[in-house]
Structure 1
Amino acid sequence: MASSGNRRAAASAPAATPSTAPATPPRVGEQIQRLRNERKMTLDGLSRAAGVSKSMLSEIERDKANPTIAVAWRLTNALGVSLDQLFTASKAPEAISVAGPHDIPTLDGHDAKYQLRVWGPIELAGRFEWYELTLQAGGALVSNAHEPGTREHLTVLQGAMEIEADGATKRLKSADTARYVADVPHAIRNVGKGEAKALLVVIHG
């Protein structure tokens, strides 16, 4: 039978607190593989684009190896996402997500006097894309043939533009829309004296 002193000691002892299990680390490999598949990139393609060996990438995707920050940065850069997106990619999408002006990628062709603002989300790249195209006076966006069946739709918002595709040429004024084949070399030119703007939609074949 325990003595009264022992009973008092037992009563005053602090209750044991259950140990907290460590947080489960994000499955980075699964996220990279998912992002790669969404972009229809092969293991070889991502390996070349990121400068990471195919064997290392395979190990990472199977969660057999953890990438260093430098390797993770190269992979996310090749996939078109930020590092924080890599670690939050498994969260449920927001009902409404808002991208500010600084979140919109911009492609500048200084010599050709054009600017493309990429309004479409990266996960639709290669399937359905839309851009805001700005051409300075004398500027042009000249493109090689896209995949078979690809078409472009261009609506002039300001100024005057000329479309050239498959041997045909059409001139457009503000509020005109041109729909044309883009699986052949094609070009969009500013034929006015001032800046011209347009909405460009690309639907890949």
Structure 2
Amino acid sequence: MGNRMDTKTPPQIGPLLAQHRRAHKLTLEQLSTQSGVSKSMLSQIERGEANPSFAVLWSLTTALNIKLSELVEGAAAQRQDDQIEVVAESQLPKIVSTDAHCTLKILSPPRLAGSTEWYEMEIEPGGALDSAAHAQGTMEHVTAWTDGLEISSGDATITLKSGETARYLADRPHCIRNLGREKARGLMVMLYKP
């Protein structure tokens, strides 16, 4: 992945430490007493004005009854949330049908699999993406970028024009077929029922 996150900057644990302290309903003074870390040092850490040593972190996490990894990894995760992840096209996984007429490029991040997934879809002329029923309540949304995509779900069948979106139940056998003479393209989004 072409992640452009800066790994040289240490995670800011101060705000996360303050969240844990408040969740335990402790004042700065109470946490200072329990941890042995001075109130002024604790205040500076929470405001991001001081970088605590390992010994200080150990004392604070022990007093809060949390793992050191929770604090460090949680702060690192917060830092990642402020970043923009860039994935090169060559790094996007592809699913190709056995007859090579249909290609799905997986655009969604792996952590969303089984929840919300989206794909760039290409179907050769005459090709069809036949699918068995997905989990109960699953919906598919297909936006056609070209004319000629036919969607079937259960007993219903429609043909999309470029720019149109079809939304349908995918918890039954369904099919996306290219009726045109050119390669059909579109965006498919799958939403699984929680």
Q: TM-score, normalising length from structure 2?
A: 0.57
- Identity over aligned pairs, percent: 42
User: Hey, what does 2:164 align to over in structure 1?
Assistant: 176
Which amino acid in the other structure matches residue 166 of structure 2?
A: A
Cα gap change, 1:174 to 1:130, in 2 (>3 Å): same
SS at match of 1:154: strand
For residues 137 and 174 of structure 1, the distance between their equivalents in structure 2, rounded to whole angstroms, comes to: 15
User: Hey, what does 1:100 align to over in structure 2?
Assistant: 88
Deviation of the 1:166 alpha carbon = 1.2
Q: Deviations for 1:8-37, whole angstroms, at most 9, x for unmatched residues?
A: xxxxxxxxxxxxxxxxxxxxxxxxxxxxxx
For residues 115 and 129 of structure 1, the distance between their equivalents in structure 2, rounded to whole angstroms, comes to: 15
**Uncovered stretches (5+) of structure 1, i.e. residues with no partner:** 1-88
User: Hey, what does 1:137 align to over in structure 2?
Assistant: 125
| 1:191 and 2:174 correspond | no
User: Hey, what does 2:145 align to over in structure 1?
Assistant: 157
User: Hey, what does 1:69 align to over in structure 2?
Assistant: none
Which amino acid in the other structure matches residue 153 of structure 2?
A: A
Q: Deviations for 1:19-56, whole angstroms, at most 9, x for unmatched residues?
A: xxxxxxxxxxxxxxxxxxxxxxxxxxxxxxxxxxxxxx
Larger RCO (CA under 8 A, 6+ residues apart): 2
Deviation of the 1:157 alpha carbon = 0.4
Q: TM-score, normalising length from structure 1?
A: 0.54
User: Hey, what does 1:200 align to over in structure 2?
Assistant: 188
Deviation of the 1:110 alpha carbon = 4.5
User: Hey, what does 2:136 align to over in structure 1?
Assistant: 148
Which amino acid in the other structure matches residue 111 of structure 1?
A: D
For residues 117 and 165 of structure 1, the distance between their equivalents in structure 2, rounded to whole angstroms, comes to: 22
Contact 1:112 1:141 in 2 (8 A): no
Q: Rg larger in 1 or in 2?
A: 1
